[in-house]
Amino acid sequence: MEKTSADLSLEVKEGEAPEETKELVEKQEHYLHLSSSKLATLLDEKDIEINQAIANIEKLEQEKTQLRYRRIAIEDGVRKGKFLKEKLKIERTLLSSAFWHVKNQGL
């Protein structure tokens, strides 16, 4: 639910309200002295800013998702690399065993 200027004014008590609330009250008081055409222009500008903020959030969420996929791909690559390393170590052990077996037989 949106707060009215009266609600915001009630929140502003000496030394208690955050600066953001004080700014909102000051803006509200300033807006009350503007013409309706000026306020309509300000509303349109604010809508544009809000839409830009939404677009930025969506872009960042998309980048976040892409980073998750990239992280998964990297982790998968590391896992496959570790598996390959272990497989190669086992193959080396088998080759070494075969080498010493053949060498000990004098072949």
**24 belongs to a structural domain:** yes
Domain with 25, as residue range(s), is: 1-33
* Number of domains observed in the structure of the chain: 1
**10 belongs to a structural domain:** yes
pLDDT attached to residue 97: 96
Nearest to 26 by CA among 8, 40, 50, 52: 8
**1 belongs to a structural domain:** yes
Question: Per residue in 7-28, is it b (16+ CB within 10 Å) or e — as a string?
Answer: ebbeeeeeeebeeeeeebbeee
**19 belongs to a structural domain:** yes
Kindly state the tokens that stand for 78.
């590391």
Contact between 17 and 11 (Cβ < 8 Å): yes
**57 belongs to a structural domain:** no
pTM value?
0.54
- pLDDT tens digits for range 29-77: 888 888 999 999 999 999 999 999 999 999 999 999 999 999 999 999 9
**96 belongs to a structural domain:** no
Contact between 3 and 27 (Cβ < 8 Å): no
